[in-house]
């Protein structure tokens, strides 16, 4: 016999440790570790390309 769920309650607790700048610093460090500025630009270009593909797929539906 199937069960029907009419309501679903989700509770999430987020604990912040440190300052908000920690996340930004880790991102900039990973970009520096990936190489020079051209490597970062290539990564951004690839992300944009993937987003365009996702948007085109949604339009087709």
Could you give the C-alpha distances from 33 to 14, 22, 26, 43, 47, in angstroms and in order? Answer: 29, 16, 10, 13, 18
C-alpha radius of gyration, the chain, whole number: 20
Domain ranges of the chain: 21-60
**Contacts of 43 by beta carbon, 8 Å cutoff, 6+ apart:** 34
Q: What is the pLDDT of residue 33?
A: 55
Q: What is the pLDDT of residue 21?
A: 55
Task: Tell me the pTM.
Answer: 0.40
What are 3-13's pLDDT values in tens digits?
887 888 888 88
Q: What is the pLDDT of residue 8?
A: 81
């Amino acid at each position: 016999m199937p069960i029907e769920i009419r309501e679903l309650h989700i509770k999430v607790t987020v604990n912040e440790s440190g300052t908000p700048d920690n996340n930004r610093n880790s991102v900039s460090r990973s970009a520096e570790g990936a190489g020079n500025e051209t490597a970062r630009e290539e990564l951004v270009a690839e992300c944009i390309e993937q987003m365009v593909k996702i948007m085109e797929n949604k339009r087709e539906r």
